[in-house]
Structure 1
Amino acid sequence: MILRFGYVSTALSLWEATPSRTLTFTNWKKQEEASRKEKLYHITEQNLKNTIRILHYNIAHGIELYRMSSSLVPLATHPEVKWDFVTPFGDLFKEIGNLVQKHHLRVSFHPNQYTLFTSPQEHITTNAIIDMTYHYEMFEAMGLHKNASINIHVGGAYGNKEEAIGRFNENFVKLDENIRKQTTLENDDKTYTAEETLRVCEQHGLAFVFDYHHHWANPGEQTVEELLPRIFATWEGTGKPPKFHLSSPKSEKLIRAHADYVEVEFATAFIKALKAYGKSADIMIEAKAKDKAALKIVEELGKLRGFKRINGGAIELK
């Protein structure tokens, strides 16, 4: 049984390597037309090149799980800016895809909380479809669109969960089928519990990403142990182990905020539940210290009895 660990977006150990440089619409609008294009091109190129740097860093450190930044392309979905970001950077997108495929990395995107399908307002759904399409088009440019995933939350409840889930069911199917196939859903820390999110996944044939910290803050009625068989079942047929999210609360008062690192004591119950279930899994570390937090939790777990570190980002459990 293998547990692989990864992190989100930025490798803090690398100097000046953010893949999320951006350009506001206000600043874009102030520029002359030639300058607008130049700035968009420059920032996008830097973000893609930094993503390549990060992937090489991950490969060198044995980190096979990575969530790419959703901000690789500035203003890609703005209605007044929409621009062809694929053609000028085709080689860089392909280089990213080739690295991922050659080294058997697992990558994903996680659009922001405004990408949702439960809103009673039609324009919110329209914008969600535009945003999901943007992420999918990046994966297409990388040649990863049939393998990588785009993870979202169910969305808001708007005072009535059942009605909101009904709207999700109606609105989600408006999304292109190919994009739906690459979509995963995650439980959240305030509204939809793991069991509620699982039901939506099961209805739409989607894989479920279980967030342990969110479950701890918003537990519902079922334990991790009770949920695991259904969680793993949603991943059958994908060719991939289930993906989980793991972080620690920042403090006793800020229980939903993420700490810099993952406390082993907090994570122990979750890790033990996975170990007892006995099947391999991938765990995305959502801590503020990014790659440093992922490497640290692997190092700490590797010191425990029954846990053997097999590379920078993976543990074998016996």
Structure 2
Amino acid sequence: MKSKPLKLGFPVKVLGNPALKSNDARRWQSDPHLRVSLGYLDEIFDYLVKHDIRMYRMSSDLAPYATHPDMPQFHAMVSDSAADLAAIGKKARELDIRLSFHPSQFIVLNSPDPNLVRKSIWDLASQAEMLDLMELGPEAVLVVHVGGVYDDKDAARQRWIDTWATLPEPVRRRLALENDDLRFSCADVLHIHEYTGVRLIFDHQHFWCLNPENLDMRDTVEKMLASWPSHVRAKVHFSSPRTELRQLTRKSRKTGKNEIVNVAPVWTGHADFVNPFEFTTFMRIAEGLEFDVMLEAKSKDLAIIRLRPDLLRYAPDVAARFGLTAAQQQAFEVEEASLLEQPA
């Protein structure tokens, strides 16, 4: 049986239509609510379908203040919105939109501070509850990083393993662990998987930024994809590094006045768009492997809208894996022009 085409997705903010909001961002004094966020999400789904994008990362602030320790008036927000979550989840399934969360950097499961760990687990449990109430399949995951090193990397890694056993079942069922660019490499998350069984997310840019073990990319991708159940399609993250010269305003040590200085790029930074040649190279290295791709470019949905015609032009073999055909080339180019060439 022929496999379904691979999917391309983007996170949270829609740049092709700035009027679309990703969540209810009002302050607590205005009584923000998950139901308002779900109304915004419904409109985003319509935009995704219009542009044939079938993968999306929802805002981690979808349920505002739902786990704020000092605001109990918001704590029942998720359960009170069960019917609304079920409705939006049904729409996502009918439209074949793959959804996920990527909780904030404040979610740390390996902290030596037990209070921070408890708060992190609460946040994850709330987001897992939303995915369950939306009745989404096992492909809808919560993506996290290992956390901090805290002066002892081995101990920090072990704390994550120890915390795993304390997680509520819905969190363990939904959790996925990603390699990062500064602290915990693919080798580290593979080690954690060995002791926990947690699913793994391969991040291409992070792999290049942090691979002290000199792992082979193809072999590493295969091992990380194998951490997923055989009936669930894995996903990976892809972004290109920023390459442009940056200009920053700094205070001069000599004069005490502000001055503009040129600064070289930092390779952990994400580019606005995806370099199609880097993407093609990666996809050819991973030939024969099945996974959806979350693009973490700063231009969000516009990066997908630009990449699709680029793949058809430069790498038809890769384009075919995403279900793209030569007959779509002109339509994609018109779409790109309409969204990228409008006045700023």
Of residues 285, 302, 305, the one that matches 1:292 is 302
Corresponding residue of 2:152: 160
Aligned-residue RMSD, C-alpha: 2.2
CA spacing shift, 1:240–1:296, aligned 2, 3 Å: farther
> Which stretches in structure 2 are left out of the alignment for 5+ residues?
244-263, 326-344
Corresponding residue of 2:47: 57
Larger radius of gyration: 2
Corresponding residue of 1:102: 94
Q: Establish whether residue 126 from structure 1 lines up as the match of residue 118 from structure 2.
A: yes
Amino acid at match of 1:266: E
Q: In the alignment, is the contact (CA less than 8 A) between 1:307 and 1:315 conserved in 2?
A: no
Corresponding residue of 2:14: 11
Of residues 256, 261, 266, the one that matches 2:278 is 266
Corresponding residue of 2:176: 184
Question: More deviation in 227-236 or 174-183?
Answer: 227-236
The whole-number CA distance in structure 2 between the counterparts of 1:305 and 1:174 is 46
Corresponding residue of 1:193: 185
Superposed displacement of residue 304, structure 1: 2.6
Corresponding residue of 1:256: 268
Superposed displacement of residue 3, structure 1: 3.0
> Which stretches in structure 1 are left out of the alignment for 5+ residues?
29-35
Question: More deviation in 54-63 or 159-168?
Answer: 54-63
Secondary structure, aligned partner of 1:234: coil
Q: Establish whether residue 236 from structure 1 lines up as the match of residue 239 from structure 2.
A: no
Q: In the alignment, is the contact (CA less than 8 A) between 1:8 and 1:67 conserved in 2?
A: yes
Corresponding residue of 1:20: 23
CA spacing shift, 1:59–1:202, aligned 2, 3 Å: farther
The whole-number CA distance in structure 2 between the counterparts of 1:92 and 1:59 is 20
Superposed displacement of residue 147, structure 1: 4.8
TM-score, length basis structure 2:
0.80
Corresponding residue of 2:254: none
Of residues 219, 222, 242, the one that matches 2:215 is 222
The whole-number CA distance in structure 2 between the counterparts of 1:270 and 1:217 is 15
Amino acid at match of 2:223: R
TM-score, length basis structure 1:
0.87
The whole-number CA distance in structure 1 between the counterparts of 2:62 and 2:39 is 10
The superposition leaves residues 148-190 of structure 1 with CA deviations (integer Å, 9 ceiling, x where unpaired) of: 2111011111111111111111112211022101110000000
Q: In the alignment, is the contact (CA less than 8 A) between 2:202 and 2:221 conserved in 1?
A: no
Q: Percent identity?
A: 28
The whole-number CA distance in structure 1 between the counterparts of 2:195 and 2:99 is 25
Amino acid at match of 2:112: P
